Structures are given as C-alpha cells and as structure tokens.
Structure 1
Amino acid sequence: MTSNNPAVFLLMVNGQIEAADFPEYDDLYCKYCFVYGHDWAPTSGLEEGISQITSKGGGSQSLVWNFPLDITFKSTNPFGWPQIVVSVYGPDTFGNDVVRGYGAVHIPFTPGKHTKTIPMFVPESTSRLQRFTSWLMGRHPEYTDPKVVAQGEGREVTRVRSQGFVTLQFNIVTKDMKKLGYETTSEHSAATGLPRTSQQL
C-alpha cells in the first residue's frame, strides 16, 4: 500500500463520555463498547471500558465521568460505520448492581469536534407479576450482550422504557477517505449526517 494509492481509510476517534442525567438515581458507573461492520477493524486503542462510580454533588443533578475514549479503525468502505454502545449501572434498593440505561450512537461522520446526547432506555418486564418478582429478587431485565442495542434484530419484541441521557464528546480525524472517493466535508454530509460517495456502494 502506498500513500498515493491507499487500500483502506482510517477513522481516528478520541473524546470522552462526559456526563449523564438520571434524576432518580445516584452513584452510577458506565460501560462502553464499539459495534462495527465486517469490513472494519480496530488498529489501536480500546474497544471497551468501564468507568469509575460517580455521584451527584454541589447541588448539580449531573453525574460527571469525563471518561476517555481513544480508538482508531481502518476500513475499505463506510458500510457498518462504528457505533458506540453505552450501558449505565447503579445500585438498587438492596445494593445490587442493576442496569439503569442502554443507549447507542454512530461515531460522527465528519472530522472535527462533536457533542452527542444519547437518550437511554431500559428493558421492562412484560407483566406486573414479573416486575414485582424482579424487584423482590433484585434481578431486573437486562441484555446478556449490550451490543444488541446497536442492532435491529429482535428489538421489535422488546418492551423498553426511556430513562435518562448520556452526553459524549468526540474529536474525529479521518485519513485517505477522499482518496478512496468518499467526501465527508460536503454540504450533503452536513445536512444529512451521512458521508457522500462518488462510488456506488
């Protein structure tokens, strides 16, 4: 591979999971992981991580993590553009760690600094009896694999409830996308949030 005729492009991501807004809860931590297509591969950085526990303070309702993100991907085409999945956990009434929210968002397509706010949700039991049993046993519904949040299969049969928000900050750098025919700084991308390509995908 030469610099004049690259075979892949690079997507460099750094930033942080800044804060969360969960008015009803405190003492929360988060986990993150990336989901991406078959043509994508990480070349450096961490694909997943877990933050420290943070508490509300100073009269603020925000839970501040400022947990760093740093990863670089390579790919031959934008299909399967990476998403970040965030899961938030905290103690219930009995001190058990339970999920307080799932959410996912695509990594921004255009280079530069971006701030994204993810609406979070939690799975719900399908009946009052199951909800009571879950509360009594300290076993709330949760996904065995959080990556399902970034996928469509099976989601239509899951009952969920909106709960909280998480704010992320990204700094995005791309390399060799234009040489492969992908334009990420056009008016089209600004209007639609999608990279324009001169190639047929």
Structure 2
Amino acid sequence: MSANKNVFGESVSPDDGLTSQGLRDLVLNHVLNDLKLFIPDGTPHAAQRMVEIMASLEALTETVAITAMANRTHLSALKTCDAIIHGDPELKVDDPAKYELRYRAIEQQGDNEPSYDRLYSLDEVMEEYGQEFVETFWGKFGENCPNNLILANGTQLWFTVVRYPVASQSAQLDNVEQAYVAPSRRAGMGNA
C-alpha cells in the first residue's frame, strides 16, 4: 500500500502504524474525497451533518480496528491468565474465544509489588479517566503502550493494553480477575 496525504498535506504511510489520530485522518480524508456522496448539494445544515457523519464513521472505524486488533494481532497475554489467554491468536485454545482490548493501569513504588493493578474495558477507562487521558497514556489502540508516568514521590504509573476474552471465557476468569486486581484504589488517578 502506498503513502497517502492527510488533510494537511502530510504524507501518511501504512508503515507508520495505526493510531487513533491516524484513523480520524483516514475517515476525514475519505469523507472529503466523497463529499458529494455524504453531503449532496443543497443539504440543509451541511456543517452539522458533516460533524454527525464524522462522529458516526469514527466510532465505526474505531470499533472495527479495536476488534481486529484484539483478535488478530500479537498482544501480551496477562501473566496470570497465560494458560487461558495466549498472546498469539494463531495458537488455539479449547474454546474458540473472541477477545477485546483491556486497558491496564498499574501503580508501583520502586521495585515493590504493585499497590494498584486494574483492567478496564474501553467504556470503563473512558468514564474513569476521560478521553484525553486515555489517548495520551494508552491510545485507544494501545499505540502509546507500554507507557509510564513517574510522579514526584517516585511512584510509577504504568499503562498497557492486553488481550482479554469475552463471552464464554469471561465467566472462567471472574475468580482469576478478582484475585488479580489489587483492592486498593489510588486517589488522584481518576479524571486527570
């Protein structure tokens, strides 16, 4: 696949990898290239319609990209679930599962065991931290991971994205996840 130009005239190559901003640029370029299809001449409230079309197509493409990544790419398996969730989707397990991305936040002081370790669905992480924080530290596709933030007191916050089973395997992992997620909740990690 060859490089394309985004709306700002910058070269965008598939070799650059998929990012959430890159996906938004692809959607915008697609709509602008087919503007007459999406917003025919004489359409009332054309600007508002353009905003609605962009939001709808961005949501669709994000869902497709996240689903494809979770089920087709090599992601890190959670250490405690390695026997159930393998990082390589080509290695089959007994139950042909579908996966989703989970957003992991870990708090660690020095070399000590993590004092906070939690997995979030996309909806949960967006509600807990807000879109700007998620895009900065995780990236909706995990493009910024692994990532860490070192606080003034030396505490490290780590952000990763992992593969997690949905549907039939989720029930098997309830007990594992309960043991895996640290019960403490760090104040101040929320909506930043």
Class of the TM-score when normalised by the shorter of the 2 chains: under 0.3
| Richer in strand (by share) | 1
Q: Normalising by structure 2, what TM-score?
A: 0.24
Higher helix share goes to which structure?
A: 2
